[in-house]
Amino acid sequence: MKKIILAVFAVLLLSSCATSNALYNWGGVSGGTTAYEKLAYQSYDKQTPKSLCNLLIVYETMVTHPGGSRQVPPPGICAEYGYLLLQPETATTFMNNASASQKLVFSSTDYDVLFRERGEEMLKKEIEYYPESARFIEPLIKRLAR
């Protein structure tokens, strides 16, 4: 009887270790850290124009090609991205420092207008995907409205 119980326990334990689809795509994993984690840390720790441009591209990729089993961006990503796009210096920094291939990611070269519109859109998307965030995002939208 002990062998049967032990065998059933082992099967249950091993079956719980099966790989499953992650709910969200955080930009791929390299060295145990996601692309998002590396660039977000780099950008906020020692922000350079290059790190900001790289982070914008990671955010844009995460929201346009979400991946994961839910097929939506991870919680908070649209809000972070939208907030970053709405910062006054972001458009100028991107325009002056982004590589040609990074600039191709966006459909317009009028980054002031594009980033403002895209930023507001991303904040609204955060509420659409995660309605519980409305309490925090709606006041932010009002504060950042020009």
SS3 30: strand
Model-level pTM? 0.78
In a domain, 1, yes or no: no
For 72-87, write each residue's pLDDT tens digit: 999 999 999 999 999 9
In a domain, 56, yes or no: yes
Which pLDDT does position 37 carry in this prediction? 77
For 85-133, write each residue's pLDDT tens digit: 999 899 999 999 999 999 999 989 899 999 999 999 999 999 999 999 9
CA neighbor of 94 nearest in space, from 60, 58, 53, 129: 53
> For the chain, how many structural domains are there in total?
1
**Which pair of structure tokens corresponds to residue 99?**
């590589």
Residues 24 and 36: their CA atoms lie apart, in Å, by 12
Which pLDDT does position 24 carry in this prediction? 77
In a domain, 9, yes or no: no
In a domain, 18, yes or no: no
In a domain, 4, yes or no: no
Range of the structural domain that residue 126 is part of: 27-144
**Which pair of structure tokens corresponds to residue 82?**
């939208």
Residues 66 and 91: their CA atoms lie apart, in Å, by 24
In a domain, 5, yes or no: no
Residues 84 and 43: their CA atoms lie apart, in Å, by 11
In a domain, 16, yes or no: no
